[in-house]
Amino acid sequence: MKIKRTFLSGVAGLTLITAVALSSVVALAAGNHDGGHHGEKSAIGTPGKASEVSRTIEIKMFDNYYEPEEIFVKKGETIRFKVVNTGEFVHEFNIGTAETHATHQEEMMMMVEHGVLEADKINHEMMKMDMGNGKTMEHNDPNSALLEPNDTAEIIWKFADGGELEFACNVPGHYDAGMMGELTIQ
């Protein structure tokens, strides 16, 4: 699978991404950010231990793409991802399958609907808001980092047995604008 990079430039591109993100708010069902992604962790791997890291990969997030756009890891390898948001908007680096990204996009939409996420800002104090049944909008999954512009984060991840995964930004409108990459376990 070859990743197609969509380039949106200047104010027009940034406005388009923001418009898509905000216009999509209208009708999606709600999900929950409760620290897990519906049992998919075993399929994609598990949180890794710093003592087992075999290498570090720097991920740069721009306003509609990642560098690198493609990552290759070995079965059972533990990787330290250093994630840097070089863009002007809030972005996410999330390791998962196409299915987990689709579900997570609904959760991220809920964060926009409730004012937790703005185009260039995360309202951290609102992330602990009780959504009922003890569920919150905390973005604390070990396979994901949600960053404001100029922020950095680290994810240590041990990959499963093999297969094709994606890394993606699930902020509303960003995945659809092409902000995703291929992650292959060899």
pLDDT at 1 over 60: no
What would the mean pLDDT of 109-135 be, rounded to a whole number?
86
**Residue 131 pLDDT class (50, 70, 90 cuts):** low
Task: For tokens 């990787």, name the residue.
Answer: 79
* DSSP-derived secondary structure for 31-87: --BSS--TTTHHHHEEE--GGG--EEEEEEE-SS-EESSEEEE-TT-EEEEEEEE-S
Least confident of 49-53, 69-73, 87-91, 107-111: 107-111
Domains of the chain, residue spans: 30-185
* Average pLDDT of the chain, as a whole number: 81
pLDDT score for 11: 39
Q: How does pLDDT run across 95-104, given as a tens digit for each residue? A: 999 999 999 9
CATH class of domain segment(s) 30-185: mainly beta
